[in-house]
Amino acid sequence: MDPNFWHQRWQDNKIAFHEAEGNALLSSHFHLLSLQKGDRVFIPLCGKSNDIGWLAGQGCRVVGIELSQAAVEAFFAENGLEAEVSRVGGLRRYRSGPIELFAGDFFKLSKELLGPVDAIYDRAALVAMPERMRTSYAHHLAKLSGNAPQFLITFDYDQSQTEGPPFSVPAETIDRLYEGIYRREPVASVEIAGPLAERCSGTENAWLLRP
């Protein structure tokens, strides 16, 4: 995952992965995690996702990390929020009410900086990782969060149909990455839609990963 690739995508506004209405699988099924108001949800590679605001609207505290500083600043600007900004551990931290976003390298985020996490929402992180980085990503995420339960969204399609990202991450890949850490429970599966459907056919899948 070349950082320059993602910085260029944001600079050129090539962000087809950004869902203007938020993710329907999240809004339909996130209740399965049985979170309480005030619980803290971590979103790796959060971009400027509208899911951040949706989760905050459900009474969650939301913490995310995103490589692109421009994306983080766009989230606060587009939502009319004024953020308190500070530098911590080589990252920039933006805070406003129940929302806290870090700008910088995911692998530079420590458990101490992140703080306690009650659940993880991974829609755009694992599917953005090339195969060579997935094990490092999965292990770092589990370590950061103390193996907090995950609501995970992946795609399953014939990778020969198109280059990622987003990459195809079938069920057996999830099992291999999180073996001994999580057990996988299927939640829902729908046909791939949106810009990705113009490149391939397959399914978008939601999973619960429990320790």
Domain extent listing, the chain: 3-13+22-210
Q: Is 66 annotated as a binding residue?
A: yes
Q: Is 123 annotated as a binding residue?
A: yes
pLDDT tens by residue, the chain, 211 residues: 566 665 465 555 554 554 567 899 999 999 999 999 999 999 999 999 999 999 999 999 999 999 999 999 999 999 999 999 999 989 999 999 999 999 999 999 999 999 999 999 999 999 999 999 999 999 999 999 999 999 999 999 999 999 889 999 999 999 999 999 999 999 999 999 988 999 999 999 999 999 9
Instruction: Note the CATH number of domain 3-13+22-210.
Output: 3.40.50.150
Q: Is 61 annotated as a binding residue?
A: no
Q: Is 10 annotated as a binding residue?
A: yes
Long-range pairs of 171-179 with CB within 8 A, sequence gap ≥ 24: 171/205, 171/207, 173/134, 174/207, 174/209, 177/126, 177/134, 177/135, 177/138, 178/138, 178/142, 178/209
Is the pTM here over 0.85, yes or no?
A: yes
